[in-house]
Amino acid sequence: MSLDPQARALLDMVYRVGAPRFHELSVEQARRSMEKLLFAFRPDAPAVASVTEVPIPRGHDGVLLARYYRPISAEPGTRLPLLIYYHGGGWCIGDVSSYDVACRELANFSHCAVLSVEYRLAPEQPFPAAVNDALLALDWAFDNADLLEVDSESIALGGDSAGGNLAIVTALQARNRSGPALRHLLLVYPSTEMISDRPSRTTYGDGYFLDRESLVWFYERYVPQGNTDDWRASPMKADSLVNLPPMTLITAGCDPLVDDCLAFADRVRAEGGSVVHKNFEGMVHGFFTLGKYFAQANQAVEYAGQAIRDSMFGS
């Protein structure tokens, strides 16, 4: 598949100026680089009804921070469905502030409340810290539905890239212990399997933004002990994918992870699950949050929000 001309222009600009790739940076440099990219190319922030900083108690480990959005359409006191969102960034970079615009858009398009989770990052807090935080956010939201003015029986999980991985893993953990029940999964080019030899890893592994060396850089920091076969790191390795909620899968055509995503979707369907897939041809990994630069990003966010809205309210 050929690159979209706009994506080619962005990559040409990045590589022409010799900008270092993620694996050539320190963790702090990579975090600043990601933040600059998102702030430069994200759309203007739309108004929402309210934004609230939420501290979630983590026992002896302090608090898990989250940001809670209610859509512009929400009337005061109205109990809403809830989307819990986990940001991308290879479990090492990215944060709630960088994803502020995307979560505002998802809230408004879905007509649902959104809880954006500031899970702990590697390498300071490697696997399974992020996994534990992701599940804690779900449990806390379920237990505090009245406080949030949300419907505890209408909760969806979502995320992009590493965040999509956390959404899948959290749904599997919730299924394994019989609750809380989830209504939907929104997965944007999720990482489903760390070690893979599917063709897209080679085809798009160099010069398409998320290089193969950068993938290794992220994986080694997130799972430094090398246990990439643990299903909580690679959910494709789970013994069963049955009884997961219906899924919306968004992929980028020129992404080294795209074949892993498709294999995961095929397995979910083979085990009786439902997956609606939308591919954005010519796009690269990470495009979803770059709506100031890619028209397709705006289309993808609106599509995602509508999918959540349909799952919660009916199409």
Residues 56-98 pLDDT 10s: 999 888 999 999 999 999 998 999 999 999 999 999 999 999 9
Give which of 188, 5, 192, 3 is closest to 105, Cα–Cα: 188
Joined tokens for residue 141: 């939201």
Say what the pTM is. 0.97
Phi, psi at residue 53, to the nearest 5°?
-80, 130
User: pLDDT of 6-16, one tens digit each?
Assistant: 999 988 887 77
Q: Average pLDDT, stretch 99-109?
A: 98
255 belongs to the catalytic site: yes
Q: Would you state the pLDDT for residue 227?
A: 86
Does 20 have pLDDT greater than 90? no
Which residue is listed with tokens 């999918």? 307
**Extended beta strands in the chain, E state:** 50-57, 63-70, 80-86, 113-118, 150-160, 184-188, 247-252, 275-280
Average pLDDT, the chain: 95
pLDDT at 121: 98
Active-site residue, 191 included? no
Distance (Å, whole) CA 232 – CA 249: 19
User: Where do we find the tokens 């359409």?
Assistant: 73
Which residue is catalytic, options 4, 255, 259, 260? 255
Q: Phi and psi dihedrals of 284, rounded to 5? A: -110, 160
Quick: pLDDT tens for 31-51. Answer: 998 999 999 999 999 999 999
Handedness of CA 74, 179, 133, 169 (dihedral sign): negative
pLDDT score recorded for residue 315: 57
Q: What tens digit of pLDDT does each residue of 264-289 get?
A: 999 999 999 999 999 999 999 999 99
Q: Does 146 or 12 have the greater pLDDT score? A: 146
- Distance, in Å, from the CA atom of 107 to the CA atom of 139, rounded to the nearest integer, reads 20
**What's the rounded Cα separation, in Å, for the pair 43 and 298?**
8
- Among the options 161, 196, 234, 311, which is catalytic? 161
Does 248 have pLDDT greater than 70?
yes
- Residue 161 designated active-site: yes
For the chain, which domains are there? Answer: 5-313 (3.40.50.1820)
